[in-house]
Structure 1
């Protein structure tokens, strides 16, 4: 990956990292606050789902603002709205109000994700796309680790302090986008990409994004509830959540690099099987606290790798002009999965017990393995038909000038064989064209910036040298 590409991605990734520190422990904070207030798991699930409903609404609408005003101003607008909604949650403690604020916060947060994802997808090609998306996820999860560790610290500062810290971080995240030198991707044209066309174009990408939404939302919103009801303190819950997010962060780049070098469908199959295996281990193995932490570390690496690999797989099949709309569509699919996750899984936890969370994650992993395996059998990865040797691209004129004496001699011998009369045509090899053309050759006179023809000699140039 080139240094220029990394510098182009620095500003959005740094802004996302700052915002993600607060956003990383906001879901955990809300779950714990509602549970401490005596709210039922159903109420907790619906308030958590409000955020993902906002994600779905924003994924349908936010591309219009991005295409109208550009990446940087769109990011500033969305980040500011995130800050406002979080600060209002610190002022008002009421489940209905929190439902509305979480919905608006989700709408703004998915706008931030759309800005960053479309920026990175437009900046890179298929050879580096997996690594760029891995850096994107690393920024999110590294921030999440710090955020989970801040949970206990901010809780001790007072009931409103966590919300104030999150709002401050969301406001500060605008500074890298506004101040760092950067080159924004061009948005010359946005091709329409309907949901039906997206599903037809990349069923694997759509299913992977949907499954990722189900799994990530369950882990973020219901795993803290599981850990607290298992007997862990608030500080310990934050530490275990940080371990899980640390696993997601550290395993992102290896998985992204792996997906750049191999068939992404096969990578997705293995990730799904891995998640099912880890969920079964948490369910059936007698685990000490350090053993649970180790499996949560691995579970985070598997669950949170689903989305970037799915997006990379979809981007490999999307037209260049449809990347923004494709990113928007996959964010919408991911948000729908996230919205459905708590209402679907919390009844399972009510019937089966708190372990229903891992029964659900294991079943989801097996379903994804079956779907990805079926798609791979229907549409296997393309195999190159012949080795390819890269050469320097040449214009038509450059190709003519690069003809060598050996090439001409070979052509003459071939024509001699084809010619029944045995006559060999007389061919003269032209000398390479060096320096300015002779005076009698056709040429173009270029003009100064004011559009007038030059009077002095020596201001003429060959074709293609016009400065007008």
Structure 2
């Protein structure tokens, strides 16, 4: 990016937050709907992982390419444009039932969603720093809360016919209207400094690994978890509720992360949440009771959604202010890399005896051990420096 938001005294951000929540409900519904509706349209279940990867490829490219669009058209118009593009790629799915069309649609949807995230996140950075944490808290709550509500559409609206697409189109249309006609402040821009390649390689390695692993885990959960639950004999109504528990766990853990950071270093905090995720997966692998499955899903959501914000915070630690946006782009790029490969790697486990739970267990346990080693190295360096 070539710009960053210049602070103002007050920033009215209710419009983008509400619009994001409406989008999140539609997107959350679609996220779980796609893998489940493949058989209804005569498409092979193996397409699910490739659709998820195509989406994250678009997310990766869009995170880099959206800045010129924002600079030219502004936040409001870009937000509305990305929402319109997203709903367009959604409507096209039941009309053109071909694998390559769906793959291209999800790729373009990834571009649109990257634009939505970049616009809203930069929008909420607009304003005084004192209330920035509160605004970002509203952002996380609206995104995760809306996504959790969207999962319930699987049970209440269903997975067949055109009704799901009508519901998603109406929600996104309301979000577009709110952005275009609602009264809100738009951010202004000023030049910032980009990180050089040498500076990028000097960023905290644990932070970058944390972002990659977050993508590996969340990409697989979004793309493959509904199919994993189907293979376990879970009904569609219960699948929606279980997916909502994952998102709910991610939403409720956000206030705990800053508090826990006061007692644990960020590297050790990532190790803690990876361990929590490993225990959650172990719980689901050892017992197929629906209650234990629900508890495991909730804990897995807490672990999976905690990694990215901790990693970004660690990556931007001690950086001069003009480098923050550039560093954040590096972290988002790292997350997107993981998100692209996560569903494909998880699909390899799905065809073996270990299934998706085995994949998540392996990734989280390996990351936990790495973070513990990295944390011990940092502590030894501090002791040696004394």
Interval of TM-score (by shorter of Structure 1 and Structure 2): 0.7 to 0.9
**Aligned residue pair count:** 375
* Matches for 1:302-317 after TM superposition, within 5 Å: 302-317=303-318
Whether the 8 Å CA contact 1:32–1:224 is kept in 2: the answer is yes
Rounded Cα–Cα distance in structure 2 between residues aligned with 1:290 and 1:324 = 42
- What secondary structure, in the 3-state scheme, does the structure 1 residue paired with 2:193 have? coil
1:297 offset after TM fit, Å?
1.0
Instruction: Find the counterpart in structure 2 of residue 247 from structure 1.
Output: 249
CA distance in 1, matches of 2:301, 2:101: 31
Partner of 2:4: none
Structure 1 unaligned residues grouped into runs of 5+: 384-468
Match of 1:106 in 2: 110
- Which of the pair is proportionally richer in helix? 2
Q: 1:169 to 1:195 in 2, by over 3 A?
A: farther
Q: Is 1:69 matched up with 2:68? A: no
Aligned to 1:203: 205
Deviation at 1:116, TM superposition (A): 2.0
Decide which of 144, 151, 154 is 2:154's aligned counterpart: 151
1:113-128 counterparts in 2 under 5 A?
A: 113-121=117-125, 123=127, 125=129
Go from structure 1 to structure 2 and tell me whether the alpha carbon gap of 1:316 and 1:117 turns closer, same or farther (over 3 Å shift).
farther
| Structure 2: gaps (5+ residues) | 1-7
Question: Quick one: distance in 2 between partners of 1:114 and 1:312?
Answer: 17
Paired residues of 1:130 and 1:312 also in contact (CA < 8 A): no
Aligned match of 1:358: 357
Corresponding position: 1:337 with 2:338: yes
Question: Cα deviations across residues 310-359 of structure 1 (Å, max 9, x unaligned)?
Answer: 2222233443233333333322221111110111111122122xx42111
Query: Contact (CA 8 Å) 1:17, 1:143: kept in 2 or not?
Result: yes
Please show how residues 135-284 of structure 1 align to structure 2 within 5 Å. 135-155=138-158, 159-194=161-196, 197-259=199-261, 263-284=265-286
For 1:60, which of 53, 57, 64 is the aligned residue?
64
Distance in 1 separating the partners of 2:131 and 2:257? 13
Q: How far apart, in 1, do the equivalents of 2:197 and 2:289 lie?
A: 46
Aligned to 1:387: none
User: Cα–Cα, structure 1 residues 347 and 112, in superposed 2: closer, same or farther, change >3 Å?
Assistant: same
Q: 1:128 to 1:375 in 2, by over 3 A?
A: farther
RMSD between superposed Cα atoms in Å: 2.8
Give the alignment of 1:437-452 within 5 angstroms: none
User: Which residue of the partner structure matches residue 47 of structure 1?
Assistant: 51
Check the 8 A contact 2:38/2:45 in 1, yes or no: no
How far does residue 11 in structure 1 lie from its aligned partner after superposition?
2.9
C-alpha displacement at 1:119, in angstroms? 3.2
